[in-house]
Amino acid sequence: MTTQDLYPTRLGQEVKMLERHDPVVWGSGEGSALTAAQVESYECDGYLQLPALFSESEVEAFQEEIAKLTSDRELLASERVIIEPDEDSLALRSVFDVHREGMFRDLVRDERVSNVARQLLGSDVYIHQSRINLKPPFRGKEFFWHSDFETWHAEDGMPSMRALSASVSLTENVHSNGPLMVIPGSHKHFVACGGETPAEHHRESLRRQEIGVPSDEMLTRLADESEVRNLVGPIGSVTFFDCNLMHGSNGNITPQARRNVFFVYNSVHNTLVEPFAAPARRPNHIAARNFEAVPLPVG
């Protein structure tokens, strides 16, 4: 049996806008984590911010954990670490696969986050990807517009739009330090991208993406129908956003770093098949093939 490709992309076709076939909120949408109004807001905009969900002291502990990770020479030498795209830069851009032990293992299980994912995706969930984004001060580069799902579908074989990201702000997100920007409502369209995925594409794309990028025309259409919104908020805020929401962020020349840790929850009913438009699977530290459900918190 082959899985039908509802979202053809990078198959040499023209860039075009397709409709979304999947619901945004799966199941009844009922649960203990979010109110009906919050669920509705997520359904409509494609994201939901919960300000200061974690306390400052919890965030301090996360920062200490990151300091430990980023001084671990073995980790720094590994493929889990992505460096900023400027050729002469040694600044860390991202560290992947941080949820398998220690404090971030506890964090993905924390019901303040995981129960939101379960409620919106209407099932048990597992972690598809985790990373720390360390947009450095002064010279942090932009993340160009993209739908995560477009990549996860093409390169990882994620069949349906039944996943979301939870991004925990470890620094204040202000308008000037390159905060997450979204186009609310854009998650209801699917922008099929041109080109074809080259082999080992992730080695380049995680620094600076050029394939799987929507066209200027499509972005203009999406923004004209809606707006571009900066998501700002205090330390410890969590932004949940749909896997197909068009998002990106500008660079950061300010002295203030913009750090977050984020987790992709995927439904256990939406586990990966073979990539829909790539010559090979991406490695496990970028696209996990351990589909074990995040356990419910004890007690």
Q: Is 204 in the site for its own copies (CB under 8 A)?
A: no
- Which position among 121, 219, 243, 261 is part of the footprint of its own copies (CB under 8 A)? 219
Considering only CA atoms, which of 19, 265, 299, 22 is closest in space to residue 124? 265
3-state secondary structure (DSSP) of residue 76: helix
Residue 17 interacts with its own copies (CB under 8 A)? Answer: no
Q: Does 207 bind its own copies (CB under 8 A)?
A: no
Single-letter amino acid code for the residue at 167: S
One residue of 47, 96, 104, 145 binding its own copies per CB under 8 A = 145
DSSP label at residue 23: -
For its own copies, the closer of residues 122 and 179 by Cβ is 179
Compute the least distance from the CB of residue 253 to its own copies, in Å. Answer: 5
Among 64-72, 89-97, 142-150, 236-244, which window interacts with its own copies (CB under 8 A)?
Answer: 142-150
Q: What is the DSSP letter of 252?
A: B
Nearer to its own copies, 193 or 287 (CB): 193
CA–CA separation, 288 vs 266, rounded Å?
Answer: 10
29 near its own copies (CB under 8 A): no
Task: Enter the DSSP assignment of 239.
Answer: E
Q: What are the start-end ranges of the E strands in 185-283?
A: 189-192, 229-230, 238-242, 247-249, 258-267
Residue 251 binds to its own copies (criterion: CB under 8 A)? yes
Per CB under 8 A, which region of 6-14, 63-71, 194-202, 251-259 contacts its own copies?
Answer: 251-259
**Total residues binding its own copies (CB under 8 A):** 28
Q: What is the DSSP string of 42-72?
A: HHHHSEEEETT-S-HHHHHHHHHHHHHHTT-
Question: Can residue 195 be called a binding residue for its own copies (CB under 8 A)?
Answer: no
- Among candidate residues 145, 170, 168, the one with its CA nearest the CA of residue 240: 168
CA distance 239 to 50: 6
- Provide φ and ψ at 112, rounded to 5°: -60, -25
CA 98 to chain centre: 14
Q: Does 47 bind its own copies (CB under 8 A)?
A: no
Instruction: Please state, in angstroms and rounded to a whole number, the distance separating the CA atoms of residues 86 and 183.
Output: 27
Q: Does residue 138 bind its own copies (CB under 8 A)?
A: yes
Scanning 22-30, 66-74, 110-118, 177-185 for contacts with its own copies by CB under 8 A, the matching segment is 177-185
- Do the beta carbons of residue 177 and residue 135 sit within 8 Å? yes
Determine, following the binding rule CB under 8 A, whether residue 220 of this chain makes contact with its own copies. Answer: yes
**228 binds its own copies, rule: CB under 8 A:** yes
216 lies in the site for its own copies, by CB under 8 A: yes
Residues that bind its own copies (CB under 8 A): 137-138, 142, 144-145, 174-178, 181, 216, 219-220, 223-224, 228-230, 248-256
